[in-house]
A and B are shown apart, each in its own frame.
Chain A
Amino acid sequence: MTAMAGAIARGEVGGRLWFYANYHCNLRCTYCLTESAPEVTRRELGREQIVERAREGRELGFTALGVTGGEPFVLEYMPELIAALGSELPTIVLSNATVFNDRRLREMEPLADLPVQVQISLDRPDPDDNDAMRGPENFRKVVEAVPKLVERGIGVRIATTLEDPDAADPHEMERLCELHRSMGIPDEDHVVRPIINRGRAVSNDLGVLAGFEQLEPELTLTADGAFYSPFAPTVRGGDLDTDLLVSRTTAPLREPAEMLARIAGSRPAGNDASIGIR
């Protein structure tokens, strides 16, 4: 067993290795961690880099992979990349599901035979409320896309991001759950998480504060280096936050992995991570 596999087995480090595929996005959500939008710099990690690090990750003992952005599926090669990753380890890819046209859906069909899930954001059961956070037509596009993915046998999860999940209106939550069930998504594939007060959420005064004591250590690779968590490589006022930067070195993967394990080992006792991205 590698040192990283041991740290994962003991629960000191999360087993999922995350990749920020890119930073640009067709949407401009009010709580976006990375201030993503159509005009921002792409900052692509690169498909070859992602595949190589994923293979290293499997050898080091990581148990799963995750891909996020930006919107990963604005990159032409994303379906093929996710298939390659799914052949290495169970993979989850976060998406806003607004770019799934017929061609894209055909390209994604091979994912049905792999341990891959597409995690799609849907925050509110009412189109106007949802779209106020995520942009015009978002709700309609999501409720159109999800059944099409399900029909093709592709794994789908729904992620709901709320200002305060504990204070959510139970009736509204029930309507949201009825909606995802109606689209073929069972309750176990619906995750609810808080807005994190980083990135654009800071500008909009949204979300809960989260430092490294509250976040699960999950190695996250970006074009700017390796970070402590997928919540870490955030952007505020156009500047990358470095407070949760682990290292600029991302290859070989063993180096940032060992640094993350060292950081995780230095967390004060009793500081159990309480916030995860999925």
Chain B
Amino acid sequence: MTNSWAHVRAETVARADASVVALIDAEQAPILARPYYAGEGPPSPITASLAHVPEVLEATLPFVGRILGPTAIDLRAKEIVILRTSALMECRYCVEAHTTVALDSGLSVGEVCALRGEREVEAVFTNRDELALISWVDEVALGRGAAPEDITARAREVMGDPELVEMTLVVAATLMLNRYCSALGLPTSAATLARLAEEGLA
């Protein structure tokens, strides 16, 4: 993966505010969706778009929250998976949103750039476990059919069954969100864009 993110950003920035579907504001939030609007500030575009189908929102957001939120896997590792997958899938919204989350989870700017394909991963990451994890993510996200034995073997060396199951599911859930957010053109929040500019990662 080499520097794919830059061209995605350039191609999509012009339509960053042009969501394909209307984003439902708090005043129009269906009754069953209202608990997901309870936080401070506007709801995320994912919530505000899913609100069109409240029965689907009710199933999707707890699922996504459970898988992408805090679990036994530490947040740094989880954000490596989410950001790497999103960059591979060229999902502008997810890359921008998870760049800030990754920074808040302890990843350096250099590590973020490597995961986004702007630098060589091997030039930045040195930890054997994290390199094996990134290889696994690349294979799960882009591969077809069964994973090659060598990549599987590397993953098995650093992850037990529970970790491998969960990390693979994090990739799969992220893929789902990548395609959802990209296809619907969900806009990145102004706060996130400001943070990215501040970090030199816009």
Contact = CB atoms under 8 A, between A and B. Distances in A.
Interface of A: 212, 228, 239, 241-249, 255, 259, 262-263
Contacts of A228: 31
Contacts of A263: 31-32
B32 A248 contact: no
Contacts of A247: 32, 53-55
A242 B55 contact: no
B54 to A, nearest CB: 6
B27 interface: yes
Interface in B20-56: 22, 24, 27-32, 51-56
A248 B51 contact: no
Nearest to B35: A266
A28 to B, nearest CB: 24
Interface residues of B, number: 14
Nearest to B34: A243
A244 B55 contact: no
Contacts of B56: 248
A104 to B, nearest CB: 37
B55 A243 contact: no
Given A248-B53, A248-B55, A242 B32 contact: no
Given A263-B31, A263-B32, A242 B53 contact: no
Residue from B22, B24, B30, B55 whose CB has the most chain A CB atoms within 10 Å: B30
A244 B54 CA distance: 11
A244 B32 contact: no
Nearest to B27: A243
Given A248-B53, A249-B55, A255-B55, A243 B32 contact: no
A245 B50 CA distance: 13
A247 B54 CA distance: 6
A242 B56 CA distance: 15
Contact of A243 (B22, B30, B52): B30
Contacts of A241: 28
A245 B29 CA distance: 8
Nearest to A228: B31
Contacts of B53: 247-248
